[in-house]
A and B are shown apart, each in its own frame.
Chain A
Amino acid sequence: MRIVCPYCGDRDTEEFIFRGEALGRHPGLNSDEYAMFEHVYHRTNLSGKTSEHWYHVQGCRNWILVERDTLTHTIYSARLAKDGES
Chain B
Amino acid sequence: MSVIDILTRVDAICNKYDKYDVEKQKNLNVSGDDAFARGYAAIDAEIEAALEKAELASKEKSKASTVALNAELRRTKAKLLDEVPKLQRLAIKKIKGLSTEDLAARNDLVLALPDRIQAIPDGAAAAAKQPGGWGPSASHTEIKFDSDGRFDDEYFQESEQSNQFRQEYETRKRRQDQGLEMISEGLDTLKNMAHDMNEELDRQVPLADEIDSKVDKAASDLKNTNVRLKHTVTQLRSSRNFCIDIVLLIIILGIAAYLYNVLKK
The yes or no verdict on A and B being binding partners is no
Instruction: Mark A residues whose CB is within 8 Å of B.
Output: none
Instruction: Mark B residues whose CB is within 8 Å of A.
Output: none
